[in-house]
Structure 1
């Protein structure tokens, strides 16, 4: 029986993490195992996990702080079952999540990347839709009724044109993740880097419309902070320039052109300009990313 390894790297808000764990416990399909890898020093966390009487819940505390990327990589190392998801410690699974992704896997057992339907919520759990989410859904995500498959250069082009996936909701075929690591030099674009590496390796994606996950978007995130100060775009410009070279070397020249243009990333920088101008901070890196050649 296929089991979903739910990996949760924890480093933040205890109450939100507890809500996330409860959402896993509420799954209507019992074939899951939750592993929480605690990178914090809050004594309340192990005390709370000691009260959970469910053999499918595994709590581990890092003896020393690994940092965000290090803790994500530790989660990759601990995956043992056929399928895996790296859930954000503030995101929520709807009760049907495990059932949905196991159903997609049963129909497409060779697919490495499963993107189920996602609802976006704010910091207090209300449904929301930001400009970034509108762009994902209306501009970049493919149009389909129930399920949709992509692979090869078509998948690379789709993701480089605009990353429309919600990484914490993705279910992975664990075999596809073997040997992969999040890159420590990247802070906010690690997810796209890992996806592109998988696509180059030949992994396919299936997207399913069934909503079964709530992705929390709020201003306290690492990506929100670095977007405003401009460091996100320095990283992004360098990343897309490197990926363009990789795509050319791989013979995927359309994907290389899309990476060099990285129009969605440039557009995002432009949307932040009014805030930067009001704050008189971060204007130069935003303009450089929006109109520059790419690499900083």
Structure 2
């Protein structure tokens, strides 16, 4: 079964090359990759892709920068097969990823979203275990082996703390293309997508089998937005909207969890000292507002 690997790109070129090569090293060679370059200013990139001589890889370059959300939505337009991955441009697929996804999709036909086991690395490729990882581990549903999750219990769990690693997730094409990314979110669009699928009756397969290396580094777009407090303005709007939608769905526990958004507020609290130290006045104000509201 051919797996579509969508690869929206804008960022570190050397890390991007490592990510692409990790796909080419898959034990299951039945995949196609569509690279959607959002106009990153490096003239060597098209030539590098051409030098690979791999007809499974299609390289496209946007004439106008669309931003992360716009580029994700554009990439979804290139889906052709039943299984899809929207891969991060600085992450690493372990050699078993495609084989893992194909196997789990066949074994669990009722699953729409597939989360493998993930190791987290830093910008230098070293193992990383930040406070974010510790919180994700604490909230991730307990159990061993592949297990299906669905309904209000799954929604409430994700709203309490998003323990998923979006670039590592596999998707049923019919689900992700039918739902798509919400246009008005630029930081939490991944969580919004999963919750929209869950609200519509979809299910998630959570597996312990390690198949992906997720890269977390201080220079990421979400990290910068977090220190300025910008991401929390969006998160606050998102959680209040989710509270309304979960209540309309007849899921009171999920609605209460969204309204409280406790871990998001605690995250803002942990960033306050750093924002103050760097004299990010607007960041301190935004973080403080998110904490108390």
TM-score bracket relative to the smaller structure: over 0.9
The offset of 1:145, in angstroms, is: 1.3
The separation in 2 between residues aligned to 1:220 and 1:181, in whole angstroms, is: 27
Q: Partner residue of 1:108? A: 108
Listed as ranges, the gaps of 5+ residues in structure 1 are none
In structure 1, how many angstroms separate the alpha carbons of the residues matched to 2:179 and 2:77? 9
State how 1:31-180 maps to structure 2 within 5 Å. Answer: 31-40=30-39, 41-137=41-137, 139-180=138-179
The alpha carbon displacement at 1:178 in A equals 2.1
Q: Structure 1 length as normaliser, TM-score?
A: 0.95
Please report how far the alpha carbon of residue 189 of structure 1 lies from its aligned counterpart in structure 2 after TM superposition: 0.9
Report whether the alignment pairs 1:290 with 2:263.
no
User: TM-score with structure 2 length normalisation?
Assistant: 0.96
CA contact (8 A) 2:136 2:161 kept: yes
Map Cα deviations across residues 122-160 of structure 1 (whole Å, 9 max, x no partner): 0011111110011101x2101111122110111111110
Q: Map Cα deviations across residues 219-274 of structure 1 (whole Å, 9 max, x no partner).
A: 11111001111111111111101110111111111110000011110111111122
Structure 1 partner of 2:241: 242
Query: Which residue does the alignment assign to 1:280?
Result: 279
Aligned-partner Cα distance in 1 for 2:225–2:67? 17
Task: Report the counterpart of residue 184 of structure 1 in structure 2.
Answer: 183
Question: In 2, Cα distance between the equivalents of 1:71 and 1:187?
Answer: 11
Name which of structure 1's ranges 50-59 and 82-91 shifts more when overlaid on structure 2: 50-59
* Residue matched to 1:254: 253
8 A contact 2:111–2:148 mirrored in 1: no
Separation in structure 1 between the aligned mates of residue 35 and residue 278 of structure 2, nearest angstrom = 38
Contact map agreement 2:114 2:205 (CA 8 A) in 1: yes
User: How many Å apart are 1:102 and its aligned residue?
Assistant: 1.1
Do residues 223 (structure 1) and 211 (structure 2) align? Answer: no
Aligned residues between the structures: 290
Rounded Cα–Cα distance in structure 2 between residues aligned with 1:146 and 1:179? 29
Instruction: Write the distance in 1 (CA, Å) between the matches of 2:63 and 2:130.
Output: 38
How many Å separate the matches in 1 of 2:70 and 2:82? 23
Q: How does 1:192-231 map to 2 (within 5 A)?
A: 192-231=191-230
Give 1:56 shift. Answer: 1.3
Q: Deviations over 1:98-134 (max 9, x none)?
A: 1111111111122110000101010011111110011
Computed over aligned residues only, the root mean square deviation of the Cα atoms, in angstroms, reads 1.2
Deviates more, 1:270-279 or 1:203-212: 270-279
